[in-house]
Every structure is written in C-alpha cells, then in structure tokens.
Amino acid sequence: MSRLKGNIAWITGAGSGIGLAGAQALAQAGASVVMSGRRADILQAEAQKICALGGVAEALALDVADAAAVQQCAERILEHHGRIDILVNSAGLNNPNRYWNNQTTQGWREVVGINLDGSFYTIHAVLPSMRKNKDGLIINISSWAGVFHPKLTGAAYNASKHAVTAMTETINMEECANGIRACALCPAEVATPILDRRPVPPSAADRARMLQPGDLGATIRFVAELPPQVCINQIIISPTWNRNYIENL
C-alpha cells in the first residue's frame, strides 16, 4: 500500500489536464483527493469517476483568483478532514492575445491572477496547518516558460511562471525547518486544453508527440510518494520531440 494512504490532497485546476491527471494518480496511490476548479459540474463528474474506480474524491468549486474564496475552501477542507497533507497548484491559463502588440491590462491581470496570485493564496491558506503538523508537500505546476524564455507563451505567462518557480523555492528556504517541502514542476508542451488558447493551436499530430497529462500525473505521484526527508526542489520535464529545440534547428 502506498504511503499516501490516509493523506489529504488538495488539487486546483483539477477539472482537466495536469490537475485532473494529478488527482487521478494521487487517488490511485491511496490519497483522499479534494478537487477544485471553476466548473462544478465537470469536477463532480470527474470525482465520481475516481470514486467508481475505488478512489476517494470530492469536488469543491473554486476560483483561485478570489483570495477570500480560497481561504474559505481551505478552512472547509480542514474542518472536514482535519489536515491538508499535499497541495497541488495546477490552476493556470494563458490568453491568445499575449504579445506586446496585443496584450491588454485585463489580459495580463487574468493570467497573473490565476497563475501566480492563485498559487500564493492556496499556499498561504495551507501553511499554518502544515506547520502545526510539521509535515506537508506543495507541488506548484510551473512551466518550461518558468525556467527558460520561450517567445511563444508571451510576457504575462512567462513572468507568472518564472515567479511561481521562484516562489516555490522560498517555501523550501523558510519552511524546511517545519518539515514542509515544495517542488516546482516545469513541463514543456503538454497536450492539454490550454493549447486551444494559443494564437495558432497545434495540430493533433503535434499534440500526440507532446507530453500527455498522465505523464505529469505520474510525476506528481512520484514526488508525493517520496519519504518526507526528501525534497525535489524542481523538475524540468519535456517531450523527447521538443519543439522548443526542433523549431530552432
């Protein structure tokens, strides 16, 4: 039996893509997963699928850009379960209008508000209970664009993901003495619905050669199943056929 049996895992952006794959993988490993996202109907349907396979899952709709709602959601989980052992911040987005010639202030705030501020709000909400328990794991889904500087993803996305990567390491700096560890997971292209928001969405053939959500779910599970004295600070993961390289040949 996985050492995650009995753990409570809170996953944002859990309705699709990496967040959903992470919820599925952690539930399969024995954790009880709380799935958050903005679409309550989709969350509930996916949670029911996990339960039908023998896992333990529940859905709590949430807009992570709403600081008060995030705090209320965390308090509800803590009231019901008594603890949050694992937090996976997977809520994220980008806009088609992402370059300096078409970026708007509203678009910038939307991307930064979800990708960066939303992650801060959830982390801020769970740290007190993790400190009390002297244990906790936080996995922040950053990006290849949180380590390198691809042109394709644009200013707001690159800025927000670099900030997420940096913020993750500050958790390790300040909270390692409290038994809390954090990992910035930095994937290159993953075949998720966010690709549909690109100015030119990739073809089905290109998506088939990208990382798949399940690959990231397995990575999340790997990090979560490591013993508590192990901290994986950062993982950079890419498809073998990496267009960040191919297109520069």
C-alpha dihedral, 52 to 54 to 58 to 59, nearest 10°: -40
Which residues, 6 or more positions from 112, have their beta carbon under 8 angstroms from its beta carbon? 156, 159, 160
Starting at the earlier edge strand, list the strands of the sheet with 86-89.
56-61, 32-37, 8-12, 86-89, 136-141, 180-187, 234-237
In whole angstroms, what is the distance from residue 218 CA to residue 210 CA? 15
Pick the catalytic residue: 99, 121, 157, 245?
A: 157
CA-based R_g, the chain, Å = 17
Assess whether 157 carries a catalytic annotation. yes
Query: Is residue 70 a contact partner of residue 121, using CB atoms and an 8 Å limit?
Result: yes
Q: Which residues are catalytic?
A: 157
